[in-house]
Amino acid sequence: MSAGTVRIAKPTGEFVDVEVGTTVADALRALGERRVGEVIAAAVDEHLVDLSSSIGGGAVVRPVFSDSREGLEIIRHSTAHLMAHAVKRLFPETQVTIGPVIESGFYYDFKRERPFTPDDLERIEQVMQEIASANLAVERREVSKLEAIEFFRSVGEAYKVEIIEGIPDDRVSLYAQGDFTDLCRGPHVPSTGRLKAFKLTSVAGAYWRGSEKNEMLQRIYGTAFASPKELKAHLAMLEEAKRRDHRRLGRDLNLFSFHPEAPASPFFHPKGALVYNELVAYIRRLYDQFGYQEVLTPQVLDVDLWKRSGHYDNYRDNMYFTEADERAMAVKPMNCPSHCLLYGMATRSYRDLPMRLADFGRLHRYERSGVTAGLTRVRSFSQDDAHIFCTPDQIEGEVGRVIDMLFRTYDLFGFTERRIYLGTRPEKSTGSDAMWARAESTLTQVLQNRGITHELHAGDGAFYGPKIDFCILDAMRREWQLGTIQLDFSMPERFDLHYVNSAGEEERPVMIHRALLGSIERFMAILIEHCAGDFPLWLAPVQMRLVTVTEDQHAYAEDVLATLRAAGLRAEADLRKEKLGFKIREAELQKIPFVLVMGDKEVATRTVAPRRRGAGTLAPVGVAELIETAMTEIRPVMGGGVP
RNA sequence: GCUGGCGUAGCUCAACGGUAGAGCACCUGAUUUGUAAUCAGGCGGUUGUAGGUUCGAUUCCUAUCGCCAGCUCCA
Which residues of A are catalytically annotated? 336, 365, 383, 385, 387, 467, 513
- Please report the pLDDT score of residue A642 as a whole number: 47
Q: Which amino acid is at A384?
A: D
Mean pLDDT (chain A) is: 92
A328 touches strand B (CB under 7 A): no
**Does the pLDDT value for residue A640 go beyond 70?**
no
**Does the pLDDT value for residue A641 go beyond 70?**
no
Residue A146 burial class via C-beta count within 10 angstroms: exposed 0-12, middle 13-18, buried 19 and up? exposed
User: Could you tell me if residue A258 is inside a domain?
Assistant: no
- Taking the CA of residue A118 and the C1' sugar atom of nucleotide B14, their distance in angstroms comes to 21
Say whether both A562 and A452 belong to one domain.
no
**Does the pLDDT value for residue A477 go beyond 80?**
no
User: Could you tell me if residue A186 is inside a domain?
Assistant: yes
C-alpha span between A409 and A234 (Å, rounded):
31
Say whether both A39 and A74 belong to one domain.
no
Higher pLDDT, A575 or A36: A575
- Taking the CA of residue A480 and the C1' sugar atom of nucleotide B12, their distance in angstroms comes to 30
- Taking the CA of residue A264 and the C1' sugar atom of nucleotide B8, their distance in angstroms comes to 24
Say whether both A455 and A477 belong to one domain.
yes
Q: Give alpha helix (H) positions in A91-207.
A: 118-133, 145-154, 158-165
3-class DSSP state for residue A288?
helix
C-alpha span between A285 and A266 (Å, rounded):
26
Q: Write out pLDDT tens, residues A605-624.
A: 999 999 999 999 999 999 99
Which nucleotide's C1' atom has the smallest distance to the CA of A513? B75
Cis ω before A337 (30° cut-off from 0): no
Q: Write out pLDDT tens, residues A284-328.
A: 999 999 999 999 999 999 999 999 998 998 889 999 999 999 999
Residues 6 or more apart whose Cβ sits within 8 Å of residue A103: none
**Does the pLDDT value for residue A117 go beyond 90?**
no
Domain-terminating residue out of A506, A531, A556: A531
Bases along strand B below 7 A from a protein CB: 1-5, 11, 30-38, 65-75
Chain A residues 171 to 200 with C-beta below 7 Å from nucleic strand B: none
A210 touches strand B (CB under 7 A): yes
Say whether both A457 and A507 belong to one domain.
yes
**Does the pLDDT value for residue A643 go beyond 60?**
no
A552 touches strand B (CB under 7 A): yes
User: Could you tell me if residue A329 is inside a domain?
Assistant: no
For the segment A26-31, the average pLDDT, to the nearest whole number, is 87
- Please report the pLDDT score of residue A478 as a whole number: 80
Q: What is the CATH number of the domain that holds A33?
A: 3.10.20.30
User: Could you tell me if residue A307 is inside a domain?
Assistant: no
Q: Write out pLDDT tens, residues A74-107.
A: 999 999 999 999 999 999 989 999 999 988 889 9
CA distances from A639 to A205, A432, A527, A562, A570 (A): 51, 46, 21, 21, 16
Say whether both A281 and A352 belong to one domain.
yes
Chain A residues 9 to 68 with C-beta below 7 Å from nucleic strand B: none
Domain count, chain A: 4
User: Could you tell me if residue A185 is inside a domain?
Assistant: yes
A617 touches strand B (CB under 7 A): yes
- Please report the pLDDT score of residue A2 as a whole number: 54
A114 touches strand B (CB under 7 A): no
- Taking the CA of residue A138 and the C1' sugar atom of nucleotide B18, their distance in angstroms comes to 57
- Taking the CA of residue A621 and the C1' sugar atom of nucleotide B32, their distance in angstroms comes to 25
Which nucleotide's C1' atom has the smallest distance to the CA of A583? B36
3-class DSSP state for residue A498?
coil
A595 touches strand B (CB under 7 A): yes
Candidate from A23-32, A194-203, A411-420, A423-432 with smallest mean pLDDT: A423-432
If pLDDT is split at 50, 70 and 90, which confidence band does A14 have?
confident
Say whether both A340 and A455 belong to one domain.
yes
C-alpha span between A236 and A201 (Å, rounded):
13
* Residue with nearest Cα to nucleotide B11 C1': A252
3-class DSSP state for residue A287?
helix
CA distances from A148 to A50, A78, A152, A379, A590 (A): 20, 20, 6, 49, 62
Q: Write out pLDDT tens, residues A405-454.
A: 999 999 999 999 899 999 998 887 777 888 888 889 999 999 999 999 99
C-alpha span between A540 and A542 (Å, rounded):
5
A551 touches strand B (CB under 7 A): yes
Say whether both A40 and A76 belong to one domain.
no
Say whether both A277 and A418 belong to one domain.
yes
Domain-terminating residue out of A531, A552, A570: A531
Kindly state the percentage of chain A with pLDDT values over 90.
Answer: 72
Chain A residues 239 to 268 with C-beta below 7 Å from nucleic strand B: 247, 251, 258, 260, 263-264
- Taking the CA of residue A116 and the C1' sugar atom of nucleotide B4, their distance in angstroms comes to 8
Which nucleotide's C1' atom has the smallest distance to the CA of A553? B32
Say whether both A446 and A352 belong to one domain.
yes
A491 touches strand B (CB under 7 A): no
Estimate the crossing angle of helix A395-412 against helix A433-449, to 10 degrees: 50
A310 touches strand B (CB under 7 A): yes
Domain-terminating residue out of A65, A94, A117: A65
- Taking the CA of residue A619 and the C1' sugar atom of nucleotide B29, their distance in angstroms comes to 37
Q: Which residues pair with A500 in a beta bridge?
A: A349, A506
* Residue with nearest Cα to nucleotide B49 C1': A260
Q: Which residues pair with A223 in a beta bridge?
A: A199
- Taking the CA of residue A203 and the C1' sugar atom of nucleotide B56, their distance in angstroms comes to 37
Q: What is the CATH number of the domain that holds A227?
A: 3.30.980.10
A588 touches strand B (CB under 7 A): yes
- Taking the CA of residue A263 and the C1' sugar atom of nucleotide B57, their distance in angstroms comes to 30
Q: Identify the CA nearest to A389 among candidates A309, A496, A497, A289.
A: A497
* Residue with nearest Cα to nucleotide B38 C1': A579
Q: Which domain holds residue A493?
A: 265-297+334-361+371-531
Q: Write out pLDDT tens, residues A123-157.
A: 899 999 999 999 999 999 999 999 999 999 999 99
A582 touches strand B (CB under 7 A): yes
- Taking the CA of residue A273 and the C1' sugar atom of nucleotide B40, their distance in angstroms comes to 39
Chain A residues 383 to 422 with C-beta below 7 Å from nucleic strand B: none
- Please report the pLDDT score of residue A168 as a whole number: 87
Q: What is the CATH number of the domain that holds A339?
A: 3.30.930.10
- Please report the pLDDT score of residue A430 as a whole number: 78
Which nucleotide's C1' atom has the smallest distance to the CA of A368? B1
Say whether both A502 and A559 belong to one domain.
no
Which nucleotide's C1' atom has the smallest distance to the CA of A582? B37
Say whether both A349 and A461 belong to one domain.
yes
Q: Write out pLDDT tens, residues A353-375.
A: 999 999 999 999 999 988 999 99
A614 touches strand B (CB under 7 A): no
User: Could you tell me if residue A311 is inside a domain?
Assistant: no
Which nucleotide's C1' atom has the smallest distance to the CA of A586? B36
- Please report the pLDDT score of residue A103 as a whole number: 82
Q: Give alpha helix (H) positions in A295-394.
A: 303-309, 311-315, 336-344
Q: Could you tell me what percentage of chain A is helix, strand and coil, using 3-state DSSP and rounding each to the nearest 5? A: 40, 30, 30
A311 touches strand B (CB under 7 A): yes
Strands (E), A427-500: 455-457, 467-473, 479-488, 499-500
A597 touches strand B (CB under 7 A): yes
In our burial notation (b when 16+ CB lie closer than 10 A, e otherwise), range A176-203 reads bbeebbbbbebbbbbbbebbbbbbbbeb
Say whether both A584 and A620 belong to one domain.
yes
- Whether the complex's predicted ipTM surpasses the cut of 0.85: yes
User: Could you tell me if residue A537 is inside a domain?
Assistant: no
Which nucleotide's C1' atom has the smallest distance to the CA of A369? B1
User: Could you tell me if residue A321 is inside a domain?
Assistant: no
